[in-house]
Amino acid sequence: MTMGSSGGIRFRSLVLLLVAYLGGTRAREAPLPLPSASARTAGVANRRAPERHGLSLDFYGKTCPAVDHIVANVTAERFRDHPAAGPAVLRLFHHDCFVEGCDASILIAPAGKAAGEKVERDMEENRNLPQYGFETVEMAKAAVESKCPGVVSCADILALAARDAVQLAGGPYYAVKKGRKDSKVSLAGKVRGSLPHANSTVDELLRVFAAKGLGAADLVALSGAHTIGFAHCAHFLGRLYDFRGTRRPDPFMDARLVKALRMTCPYTGGSARAVVPFDVSTPFQFDHAYYANLQARLGVLGSDQALFLDARTRPLVLELGADKARFFRAFVASMDRMGSIRVKKGKKGEVRKICSHHL
């Protein structure tokens, strides 16, 4: 995609927005790794999809009918005071569901070096998960416990808070099915290989998603969550300075974006906490600009830009980039599927009183 004079003006505006934003928000947030409905087994043949259990919209209809409203009050206040909390919660939900299912195992806090086995949060893939997300879920849980003690799981509260994060940023509101139980354990060893990485190839992404029973359309739709949120410099530094050992920037990143990102992310000596928005055009708005950015070579992460470069996923990028309503429908459908992965029911799970500590 080429840019004429109006495009050049627009791009300069984006650069100014990017630099101005980063100047005051370096330490606020981190990326959502994250993460789709047609090719359910794309990239992986003969692999059995994870077991899914039935959830329902009225699961707490008699025991805690106001749960959606209670959680929404907390998330709205958090979003007003800390806008970074929204994408942080959304990223938490993705990281939770992709490791042993949607069971709030990501919320269990490390017990300390002398306490034994490490938990999911100890792993490198999860160390940069922003505290804003954990705090928001704990606050929502406390509010729910004050009205409905011992009833609503942390896993369901996380799913509700993720939905609220999408809506508060301008995205669609959708009904969230409930009935998940919380995991009794959180095992660090289950993380490796379960989550996409910042520079994953499309082959690797499709394999990760297929292992969860999700397909190429889910991959592209859920990756649209990167319309909000932020990435640490370390996740794309190679694209700016030494792409695949060439000592040159990634040729598939617009040169002007390379220049703008280098201002915040030097090759050496930069802050480990410096971040940039995934979506350099509308970083705080949940919309479909993310897909237009990929078409213009403005994808920050290599795994994002790869979706437009690969012939298997490019048509989906074009489709969702052309129609915001279609993106919203696809995103909601894929969130519903992701939210049903390996749900714990009955005695296989529990309802924690404090999300960071199992019973």
Identify whether 322 is part of a domain: yes
CATH code where residue 162 lies: 1.10.520.10
3-state secondary structure of 320: helix
* Burial (CB count <10 Å: 0-12, 13-18, 19+), residue 105: buried
Identify whether 43 is part of a domain: no
**Of 150, 182, 175, nearest in space to 58 by CA:** 175
Q: What is the DSSP string of 232-269?
A: EGGGTHHHHH-GGGSSS--TTS-HHHHHHHHHHS-SSS
103 is in an annotated binding site: yes
Q: Answer whether 207's CB lies under 8 Å from 39's CB.
A: no
Identify whether 351 is part of a domain: no
96 is in an annotated binding site: yes
Residue 138, domain extent: 66-229+278-339
287 is in an annotated binding site: yes
- Strands 275-277 and 230-232 turn out to be antiparallel
Active-site residue identified among 94, 95, 232, 358: 95
Buried-state track 270-306, b at ≥16 Cβ within 10 A, e below 16: eeeebbbbbbbbbbbebbbbbbbbbebbbbbbbbbbb
User: What pLDDT is attached to residue 16?
Assistant: 46
Identify whether 50 is part of a domain: no
User: What pLDDT is attached to residue 111?
Assistant: 77
Strand partners, 341: 52
User: What pLDDT is attached to residue 271?
Assistant: 79
Identify whether 251 is part of a domain: no
* Burial (CB count <10 Å: 0-12, 13-18, 19+), residue 350: middle
Quote the number of domains for the chain.
1
Identify whether 22 is part of a domain: no
Running along the chain, 359 residues long, what does each successive block of 10 average in pLDDT? 39 44 36 35 40 81 98 97 94 97 96 73 90 96 98 98 98 97 94 94 98 98 97 94 95 96 91 88 95 97 98 98 98 98 92 91
282 is in an annotated binding site: yes
Active site residue 95: yes
Identify whether 359 is part of a domain: no
Identify whether 171 is part of a domain: yes
**Of 295, 278, 162, 275, nearest in space to 227 by CA:** 278
